Amino acid sequence: MSLKKTFLLALLLRLFIMPWFYHPDIKSQYFHFQFLSQGIGNIYQHITGNKSKLPYTDTFNYLPLTYFTFGSYYTLIKPFVPATLNSWLNDWGPNQNAYFDFPIFIFILKFPYLFFDLAIAFLLFKISSNRSVLNLWLFNPLTLYLIYVLGNFDVLPTALTLLSLYFFSKSDFNKSGFLLGLAVSLKMYPFLFLPFFLLRLFNQKKKAALYLLFFSLPILISFLPFLSSKDFIASFLGSGLTQKIIETKISNIPAFPLIYLFILFSTFKKTLAYSFSLVGLAFLSLVNLHPQWFIWFLPFFLLSFNSKTPKIFLSLIIILVLVYVSLINDQFLTWGHLIPIDIGFLSLTTPHDFIKFRFSQPPAILQQQIKTITGIFSSILLLISWRHDQNNS
Partner 1 sequence: MIKIILSQIFFVFIILIIFPSVLVRDRLFFQNNPDFQETESFTSNKNYNLNLSLPENCQLSSISFRFKNPLVANQSQIVVDILSRNQIIQSTPFSGANVGDPSWVNLKFVPKMNSSSFSLNLYTQNNDPNSLYLYVNQNGLPVYEAWCRLTPVASLNYVYKQRLSQISQINHLYLYFYLGLIVSLNYALFRLKK
Site string for partner 1, 5-34 (x = CB under 8 A): x--xx-xx--xx--xx--------------
**How far out from the chain centre does Cα 183 lie?**
11
Determine which residue in the list 77, 188, 246, 338 makes contact with partner 1, applying CB under 8 A.
338
Residue 2 contacts partner 1 per CB under 8 A: yes
Determine which residue in the list 198, 221, 319, 348 makes contact with partner 1, applying CB under 8 A.
348
Determine which residue in the list 55, 240, 344, 362 makes contact with partner 1, applying CB under 8 A.
344
Q: Which stretch binds partner 1 (CB under 8 A): 2-10, 22-30, 135-143, 225-233?
A: 2-10
Question: What distance in Å separates the CA atoms of residue 78 and residue 41, rounded to the nearest whole number?
Answer: 17
CB-based contact 59:238 (threshold 8 Å): yes
Burial label for 177, CB within 10 Å (0-12, 13-18, 19+), is: buried
Determine which residue in the list 52, 53, 94, 129 makes contact with partner 1, applying CB under 8 A.
94
What's the chain's Rg over C-alpha atoms?
A: 21
Least distance to partner 1, CB of residue 58, Å? 21
Determine which residue in the list 347, 360, 390, 392 makes contact with partner 1, applying CB under 8 A.
347
Give CA separation, 259 vs 220, 227, 246, 303, 387, in Å.
Answer: 29, 32, 11, 21, 21
Question: What distance in Å separates the CA atoms of residue 105 and residue 108, rounded to the nearest whole number?
Answer: 5
Per DSSP, 224 falls in state G
Looking at the Cβ atoms of 56 and 268, the one nearer to partner 1 is 56
Looking at the Cβ atoms of 55 and 238, the one nearer to partner 1 is 55
Looking at the Cβ atoms of 194 and 346, the one nearer to partner 1 is 346
Alpha-carbon torsion (277, 278, 279, 280), positive or negative:
positive
Question: What distance in Å separates the CA atoms of residue 76 and residue 86, rounded to the nearest whole number?
Answer: 13
Looking at the Cβ atoms of 104 and 319, the one nearer to partner 1 is 104
Q: Which stretch binds partner 1 (CB under 8 A): 102-110, 186-194, 237-245, 304-312?
A: 102-110
**How far out from the chain centre does Cα 293 lie?**
5
CB-based contact 274:132 (threshold 8 Å): no
Least distance to partner 1, CB of residue 292, Å? 22
Least distance to partner 1, CB of residue 329, Å? 17
Residue 4 contacts partner 1 per CB under 8 A: yes
Determine which residue in the list 87, 342, 372, 379 makes contact with partner 1, applying CB under 8 A.
342
- 3-class state of residue 51 by DSSP: coil
Residue 345 contacts partner 1 per CB under 8 A: yes
Looking at the Cβ atoms of 21 and 386, the one nearer to partner 1 is 21
- List the beta bridge partners of residue 362: none
- List the beta bridge partners of residue 249: 254
Question: What distance in Å separates the CA atoms of residue 55 and residue 40, rounded to the nearest whole number?
Answer: 17
Give exposure, 22-31, as e/b (b: 16+ Cβ within 10 Å).
bbbebbbbbb
Site string for partner 1, 51-80 (x = CB under 8 A): ------------------------------
Interface with partner 1 (CB under 8 A), residue total: 28
Per DSSP, 154 falls in state T
Q: Which stretch binds partner 1 (CB under 8 A): 93-101, 192-200, 242-250, 373-381?
A: 93-101
Residue 103 contacts partner 1 per CB under 8 A: yes
Cα dihedral 326, 112, 138, 335, rounded to 10, equals: 20
Least distance to partner 1, CB of residue 94, Å? 6
Residue 112 contacts partner 1 per CB under 8 A: no
Looking at the Cβ atoms of 345 and 377, the one nearer to partner 1 is 345
CB-based contact 282:293 (threshold 8 Å): no
Site for partner 1, residues 298 to 317, rule: CB under 8 A: none
Question: What distance in Å separates the CA atoms of residue 147 and residue 132, rounded to the nearest whole number?
Answer: 20
Looking at the Cβ atoms of 6 and 248, the one nearer to partner 1 is 6
- The Cβ of residue 205 has, within 10 Å, a number of other Cβ atoms equal to 9
Q: Which residues bind partner 1 (CB under 8 A)?
A: 2, 4-5, 8-9, 11-12, 15-16, 19-20, 82, 84, 93-94, 100-101, 103-104, 107-108, 338, 341-342, 344-345, 347-348
